[in-house]
Amino acid sequence: TAQNLSLPQWAYKVYPNPMEEITALDFELRSYTQRLKRLNG
């Protein structure tokens, strides 16, 4: 935990696994084609 702080109990429902999956999907969608790769850097 950063700065010696704990996450609230509700946060464990969405962090880290579901957030990791959502981030991976976002990356995949933003780089689906060569044009998107160029536009999104």
Domain boundaries, the chain: 9-40
Q: Does the pLDDT value for residue 31 go beyond 90?
A: yes
Better-predicted residue by pLDDT, 1 or 8: 8
Those residues with Cβ within 8 angstroms of residue 26's Cβ, 6 or more apart along the chain or in another chain: none
- Residue 27 has a pLDDT of 94
Those residues with Cβ within 8 angstroms of residue 40's Cβ, 6 or more apart along the chain or in another chain: 30, 31
- Residue 8 has a pLDDT of 92
* Euclidean distance between CA atoms 13 and 28, whole angstroms: 23
- Residue 16 has a pLDDT of 86
Q: Which tens digits make up the pLDDT trace of 5-14? A: 888 999 988 8
Those residues with Cβ within 8 angstroms of residue 32's Cβ, 6 or more apart along the chain or in another chain: none
> Global pTM?
0.59
- Residue 1 has a pLDDT of 56
